A and B are shown apart, each in its own frame.
Chain A
Amino acid sequence: MLISTDASVKAQHDAVRNFVGFYDFTHKLLEVTGEDAAAFLDYIFVADIANLAAGKARYTTMLDEKGLIIDDVIVFHLADGLYWVSTLFVEELIRWLDAHKKGYAVKYKNITDDWKMYSIQGPKAKELVNVVVESPVDDLKFFSIVDNSMGDAPVKVARSGYTGEKVGYEIYIAADNVELLESKLASEAEKIGGIQVTEVDVMAYTLATEAGFILMTDVLECNPFEVGFEKTVNFDKDFIGKSALELICEVPPSRTLLGFTVEDDEARIYGGWKGHLVLKGSEKVGRVTKYTRGFTAGKNIGYALVETAKAKVGDTVTISGVPAVLTDRNFI
C-alpha cells in the first residue's frame, strides 16, 4: 500500500502542519561531563561546540578520518561542564569517543534509559506546551533548552524538532514520569484539535523530508559538502576528519544530495542504501536515498544522491520508469 493513500498517515501529518501533534520521539542520549567536555566535543564534532553557550543546542555531524559523515547529532550545553548528545547510535558513539579520548579530562555515559522525550510540533505547539509545563515557553528561542517542571516532575524543554515547523518543542522527562507527561499531553491536545502521532512514517519521513531534513541513510559515506552541510563546519578549530575535508573541499563535490518530485502519485520507488537508480536518458546519474509522500507539498517527494557533473536542480530524470524532477530539498 502506498503511503500516499494511507489515511492515517495523512491525518497525522496534516495535524502537525495545521494544529499540533505530539509523540514519543525519544532518541538515545549520552551525557558528557568534565572540565574538558567542551574541548573534547569540539574535537569530535565539526560545528563550534566550545563556544556554545549554556542553554543552547547545536545540530552537527561527526566525521571519520576520511571526512565522511558517521553520525548526525544534536549537542545540548546544559550547564558548565555538562552536555547531552542526542543521537541514534549511542553505542557506536561511545566506541568512537573511547578511541579518540586521548588525554581529555572527560566522562560520558549512556543515559538513554533515564529519560524520555516527547516532541510537540505544529502551529499550536506553544499553546499546548504552556498548559503542560509550569513556566511559559513564549521566549524560548530556537535550539535553546531550559529547565522547567510539570507539577513535581522536573523537565527540560528544548525548542527544536524534526518537522520543519517554526514552532516545535521537545520535552525531556525522567523515564519514571513519562506516563504523566503522555496523559497530560493527550488530554490537553484534544482540547485544541491536536492528536498523538503514532505513525513512524510521519515521525521520521513525511514531515522531515518536506523540510529538507536528512536521515543517516541519506548521507551514508558522504562528506558534509555533498549534502549541503558546508556551513556547519568550523575550519577554525581542529576536529576529526579536518585534514581530509580540507583536501576534499579544494574541488567542488562530485556528488550532491538533491530532492526530487514525482507527479505520478502511484509511482513505486524505494530508497535506502541500495535505492532505485536515477537515470537521465539512459545514463545512471544517481540513486534514491529516500521516498515518501509530501502531504503538504501535495506530491510524492524524495532525495537522491546524484553525480554533480551529470545532474542538477531542474533536470527531468527517470526513476522506476516514471519521470521525476530534481529539486532543492525543501518542499514547503
Chain B
Amino acid sequence: MPDTERLIPNNTSDVAQIDEDSGLHLFRGMITPWDKIKSFKETYEFVVRHAAMFAVTWTNANKVIEPDYEKRQSAMSDQWAEEMDFMWSEDDPMGAKGMFLDRFAIPPFIKEGSYLAAIYADKGDEQTLLAGHIWQASNDRFEKEIHWCPFDIVGPEACDVSQGGGSHFCIGLSGQPLNTFNPERKGCGDRYCHVVQETRDKYDEHPNADGYEWEHWGPPVSGMRKEGAEPIKTECEHLTTGTYYSPTGTKWTTGELYRDFTMWPMAYSTTVIGGLRRTGKFDDPATMEIVKVMFDTAGKMQFAEWNTRKSIREWLGVPESVEDGRVLGGYISMIFQARSLEWRFAEFSEERVVIDTDRVTFEMFGQYPELTPAYIAYFDAMAKVLVNTEWIVRLDEENAPEGMARFVIEKGLYGFRRQKPGYTFDDGSEVCDAD
C-alpha cells in the first residue's frame, strides 16, 4: 500500500509510490531507448492524441473512398448502432450490461432512463480525456457539456457516430426511444459541446426526428442554455487528483481509466473501418491504396519540418551521433508503450531496428487487421523524414515470432519508378519497383 503521507504534493495521477528499498519515488510512464522518462500524464495525453491522429487519417481517407457524405456517415453510424444494439441487448451477450450494473453500482431501482447513459458516458469521456461535466442526469433527460476534446481534430463525423451509437446504448439499456442531440459538435469550432438526450415518452418526438438518427443536432425539444460562469476546463481533473468518481460514487484511479482506454484505443478509426466493411469497400483494392496514401502523407507531414524533427529527437533524447533507423524505432517504441502493447526490440542497431509486438492486441483483439497496413504506411513515411529517404519500414511476416507483428526498419529502396516499356537499366533489369 502506498504511503500516502509521503505523497509528492500535486502529484499527478496516483503515481506516487515510494520504493521501500531506496526510498525514492516511483513513477510510471514511457521511457525512450535513451532513458528519457515521460510522465504518466504525458503518456496518457500522448496515447489519446495518437488515437485521434490516426482517426483523422482514417476519416480523411474515408472522404476520398466515399465522397458521398450521407452514404459515408450512414455506413459508420449504422454499423456502430448495430454493434451497440447487440452489445447492450436484453440477452446481454457479452456480459457488458451485467458488468456495467455492477461496476457502476447502479441501484436496482434505476432500471432505465437517461441517468444510466449519463453515468456510462461520463466515465467514457473521462477516460478519453474529454473534460467537462454533467448538467443533468434524470430519468428522461441527460445533458453533458464538454470543454476539451482531444478528438476535436477528427471533426463532426466522429461525433455523429458517437451520438448515434450512444443513443443505441441507451435504447439497449433503457428500452426507451430517444431524441439524441449533439447541438454543437466541437469539430465545427464551437467552444462548448453539449450532448442532450431526451426520452420521447416525455418530450415527444422531436420535430427534426425525420431523417438520419446520426444527424440530430440543434436544439433539443426541452431547450438548452449555455451560459454559466465556470471557466473552461482544459483537462480532466483525474489527471491531477488521480481519482475519478462516477455520479453513483464508484471510483476509478486514473491508472484504471488509462487501462480502460488502451483496451480499445483506436475507436473512431475502427468506426471508419466498420463502415467501409459494411459497404464492401475493402473488396476494391483501391480502398486500401487510398488509406496507405493518406497514412503516407500523415507520416511525412508529422516530421517533415526541420523544427518538428529536431524537437522529436530532443523529446526522445536521441544523441546527435544517431542518424539512423533507431530514431524511428525509438518513436515507435513510445507508441507501443503508450498503447500498453506487449513489445520488444528484437534488434536495435545502426543498421537495423526490429520491433515485435503482440499482433492480436495491436489489431484490437485481432478484429481490425486493416490497422496494420495503415501503420506500416505511416511508419514507412515517417522513416523518410525522421531519418532520411534511404530508410523503409516493412512488416516481416516470414520471420515474426508466433503471434507477433514484426516491424523492420532498415535501408531500402523507396518509390515506384516506371520507365518506358522496353527500357533496360545497366544491370539488365527493366522496371525498378521498390514499392
Binding site for B on A (CB under 8 A): 1, 3, 6, 8-9, 23-28, 66, 88-89, 91-92, 112, 116-117, 198-201, 203, 215-217, 220, 268, 270, 272-274, 276-277, 320-322
Contact = CB atoms under 8 A, between A and B. Distances in A.
Contact of B133 (A6, A216, A270): A270
A332 to B, nearest CB: 22
B228 A268 contact: yes
Given A26-B109, A88-B105, A201-B138, 17 more contacts: A3-B138, A23-B109, A26-B108, A27-B109, A28-B105, A28-B107, A88-B249, A116-B108, A117-B109, A200-B110, A220-B245, A268-B135, A268-B228, A270-B133, A272-B245, A274-B237, A320-B230
Interface in B188-220: 202
Interface-central residue, A112, A117, A268, by most chain B CB under 10 Å: A268
Given A1-B136, A88-B248, A215-B249, A8 B202 contact: yes
Contacts, number: 83
A112 B228 CA distance: 41
Contact of A272 (B107, B108, B247): B247
Contacts of B250: 89, 92
Interface of B: 4, 102, 105, 107-111, 113, 115, 133-136, 138-139, 141, 202, 222-223, 225, 227-230, 237, 243-245, 247-250
Contacts of A272: 133-134, 245, 247
Contact of B109 (A25, A220, A273): A25
Nearest to A216: B249
Contacts of A27: 107-109
Contacts of B245: 217, 220, 272-273
A116 B115 CA distance: 21
Given A272-B245, A272-B247, A91 B102 contact: yes
A321 B229 CA distance: 5
A26 B107 contact: yes
27 contacts: A1-B136, A3-B136, A3-B138, A6-B138, A27-B109, A28-B105, A66-B4, A91-B102, A91-B105, A92-B105, A92-B250, A116-B108, A216-B248, A216-B249, A217-B247, A217-B248, A268-B225, A268-B227, A268-B228, A270-B134, A272-B133, A272-B134, A272-B245, A273-B237, A273-B245, A277-B230, A320-B229
Contacts of A91: 102, 105
Contacts of B222: 1
Given A1-B136, A3-B138, A215-B249, A273 B244 contact: yes
Contacts of A201: 138-139
Given A217-B247, A220-B245, A24 B109 contact: yes
A217 to B, nearest CB: 5
B230 A276 contact: yes
Contacts of A277: 230
B133 A1 contact: no
A8 B113 CA distance: 15
Contacts of A270: 133-135
Enumerate the 9 nearest inter-chain pairs by beta-carbon distance, A residue then B residue, closest first: A321-B229, A216-B249, A273-B245, A1-B222, A26-B108, A217-B249, A26-B109, A24-B109, A274-B237
Given A200-B115, A274-B237, A112 B133 contact: no
A9 B109 CA distance: 17
Contacts of B107: 26-28, 88
Contact of B249 (A3, A26, A199, A220): A220
Contacts of A273: 237, 243-245
Contacts of A220: 245, 249
A270 B202 CA distance: 23
A321 B228 contact: yes
A276 B249 CA distance: 17
A88 B249 CA distance: 10
Interface-central residue, B110, B111, B229, by most chain A CB under 10 Å: B229
A116 B111 CA distance: 13
A8 B115 CA distance: 16
A298 B222 CA distance: 23
A199 B230 contact: no
B296 to A, nearest CB: 42
Contacts of B102: 91
Given A1-B223, A217-B245, A273-B245, A200 B139 contact: yes
Nearest to B226: A268
A66 B1 CA distance: 12
A274 B133 contact: yes
Contacts of B105: 28, 88-89, 91-92
B159 to A, nearest CB: 22
Contacts of B227: 268
Interface-central residue, A1, A26, A88, by most chain B CB under 10 Å: A1
A216 B247 CA distance: 9
A14 B4 CA distance: 47
B194 to A, nearest CB: 12
A172 B96 CA distance: 29
A91 to B, nearest CB: 5
A198 B139 contact: yes
A89 B108 CA distance: 11
Contacts of A88: 105, 107, 248-249
